A and B are shown apart, each in its own frame.
Chain A
Amino acid sequence: MAFFLETLIGGLMAGMLYSLVALGFVLIYKASGVFNFAQGALVLFAALAMARFSEWLPAWTGIENPVLANIGAFIVAGLIMFVVAWLIERLVLRHLVNQEGATLLMVTLGIAYLLEGIGQGFFGNDIYKIDVGMPKEPVLVLENMFEGGILINKEDFIAALIAALLVGALALFFQKTATGRALRAVADDHQAAQSIGIPLSRIWVIIWCVAGLVALVAGIIWGSKLGVQFSLATVALRALPVVILGGLTSIPGAIVGGLIIGVGEKLSEVYLGPYVGGGIEIWFAYMLALVFLLFRPQGLFGEKIIDRV
């Protein structure tokens, strides 16, 4: 029982991390109808910027305090993500308004290649580490309830907490602010939003910035867990089933989907993996999402797809 709970909690926390990446997909899809394959590259790019600037800033300015260096690097990386978002809107998306979904998908793949090339060419292609002072040691909880207690990774716990906070903040931003309302209006209907005077291009810059910031946070958390390296870009592929399961247009869907996928992956790996040779995490999530899709084609929380001839 304790082992089961341990796996379950581990899965929930891993799922929270997936939702963090999935959130980036959902934000951009909601606002511009673009399925952003470059989200993984954005995560990698942001993490590389963060890792390198937290090394470079102390060297340039002589700041010794690691907290200040990290904050400085975070600000610089955030600014870089802002510039990237602005450039993507300005140079690419603006020219592709009203194109088909497949074309837009391919364009984001092109952007992904571009970002991976620039990121590694500019920041270097070694493995870097981000140290934001996350505690590494695991803790035991509920020792009085189960024999031996349940082992919880503190780092995962804090990461899950940050992810939850971020999601809460985004939900508030979307529901309560004027910009958030404008974003939701654009998501509903581009033309209608434009006709009541919402500037589409500014909204897109904002949404790509928000997605860039989410990528930065995801990059920092994943980067401090796994190290900043090229494989970080593939985290996006792990997060895809989450988006599909939860629905492309739903923020709560990204969270719930992430939790389901996280738990499903861990449980299947532990209880099913030994029988089929292990390593099934990667495709099991997709199969799980596929089965859900057969019954609910728009995902768990997606908007109902209505066809009109």
Chain B
Amino acid sequence: MFYRENGQFKTSYQSDQQIFPIAQDRWAVLAIMAFAFVGVPFLVDEYLFRAILIPFLILALAALGVNLLVGYCGQITLGAGAFMAVGAYAGYNFLIRIDGMPMLAAILLGGFVSALVGIVFGIPSLRVRGLYLAMATLAAQFFWDWAFLRISWFTNDAPSGSVSVSNLELLGFPIESPLQKYLFCLSLLVLFALLAKNMTRSAMGRQWMAIRDMDVAAEVIGIRPMFAKLSAFAVSSFYLGVAGALWGFVHLGSWEPAAFSIDRSFQLLFMVIIGGMGSIMGSFFGAAFIVVLPIFLNQFLPWLGNLVGIHISTAGVSHAEFMIFGALIVFFLIVEPHGIARLWSTGKEKLRLWPFPH
């Protein structure tokens, strides 16, 4: 009854091509953004910022990057964590080796270095695809894990192998408190999400999707597979690099290579698949699901145990977490292989017809 496009006529090409063609969607997105920027800072305490909101924002950015590559261009990657690491360490080196380097510039430069590395490791995609390509990207993961651990130049010869960044500031404003960090990450995420959405609507995004749907056919109609695939790798790695730099600088503060291990790559891929491949919205759903679930289980299981009178040990909780996490993933993939984004659009479709079923 409320969610219907009746009476909203598109009278110009511009209004036909806009991102949210239905007025209710536009208002909803604006309302959510206003809430995120203005409402959340008043409602949320420091723990929520640190434990959930900031990780969610950064990982959503990373999931966006993975989704551009996996969901839009159809190239499976298991090396996402490595590109985050490249972004984080490159940004770190720019920050400490060049005097007066602004933090934002260091983060973006980290993203650019990551994009270059992404192009190099994307070259095998011109020859192989599918599972073989996934393995090729694993090579990137293991190589960079090793490089940041063993080559001390990258870590500025830090004896413990862990590097840290302090005194973050942006144009003279300090980024110290969780609230400032939250707003900083949120602004970047909104910018990059808008950019990603527009990229997927532009010629480049259409080329990616053509390659994804069938690369031989795309080549036949004149799409250059080399340009399309490598640009997807570059853009995706750029996003991952920026997310990695944010993860290191803003979320962790000090980190070591284990922060970007293969588990991180799997986690990002989970986000994309559970959230919905080939959907910007899906990246956010997936990131929220994967960030919140372990925290929820961690709190909920001991509580449940107390309720029925069993004390669950810490190890027991972590095993149960593994089990429930795995079971949920299997369950989700069976029930809705296209991810939460598909559930969302089904729901919207139902809402349009409501309360009349036909």
Q: Which residues of A are in contact with B by a Cβ distance under 8 Å?
A: 35, 91-92, 95-96, 99-103, 105-107, 109-118, 120-121, 125, 237, 240-241, 243-244, 248, 276-280, 282-283, 286-287, 289-290, 293-294, 297-299, 307-309
Number of chain B residues close to chain A: CB under 8 A: 48
Q: Enumerate chain A residues within 8 angstroms of B322, measured Cβ to Cβ.
A: 113-114, 116-117, 120-121
B154 at the interface (CB under 8 A from A): no
**Closest chain B residue to A289, Cβ basis:** B135
A293:B323 contact, CB within 8 angstroms: no
Fill in one digit per residue for B193-209: 1 if any A CB lies within 8 Å of its CB, else 0.
00000000000000000
- Majority DSSP secondary structure for residues of A touching B: helix
B135 to chain A, nearest CB (A): 5
Q: Enumerate chain A residues within 8 angstroms of B316, measured Cβ to Cβ.
A: 121
B270:A109 contact, CB within 8 angstroms: yes
A283:B333 contact, CB within 8 angstroms: no
B130:A101 contact, CB within 8 angstroms: yes
B134 at the interface (CB under 8 A from A): yes
B148 to chain A, nearest CB (A): 12
Q: Enumerate chain B residues within 8 angstroms of A283, measured Cβ to Cβ.
A: 139, 142-143, 145-146
B127:A107 contact, CB within 8 angstroms: no
CA A100 – CA B216 in complex, angstroms? 18
Q: Enumerate chain B residues within 8 angstroms of A114, measured Cβ to Cβ.
A: 322-323, 326-327, 330
B146:A248 contact, CB within 8 angstroms: no
Q: Enumerate chain A residues within 8 angstroms of B76, measured Cβ to Cβ.
A: 102, 105
Between A and B, 21 residue pairs with Cβ closer than 8 Å are A91-B330, A92-B330, A99-B337, A103-B333, A109-B270, A113-B325, A116-B322, A117-B321, A121-B322, A244-B132, A278-B150, A279-B149, A283-B142, A283-B145, A286-B142, A287-B143, A289-B135, A290-B136, A294-B124, A298-B132, A308-B216
Q: Enumerate chain A residues within 8 angstroms of B325, measured Cβ to Cβ.
A: 110, 113, 117
B135:A241 contact, CB within 8 angstroms: yes
B214 at the interface (CB under 8 A from A): yes
* Given A101-B130, A103-B333, A103-B337, A290 contacting B139 (CB threshold 8 A): yes
Inter-chain pairs besides A106-B273, A279-B149, 19 sampled, C-beta below 8 Å: A107-B333, A112-B326, A113-B325, A114-B330, A237-B262, A240-B138, A244-B132, A248-B131, A276-B150, A283-B139, A283-B146, A287-B139, A289-B135, A293-B124, A293-B136, A294-B127, A297-B128, A297-B132, A309-B216
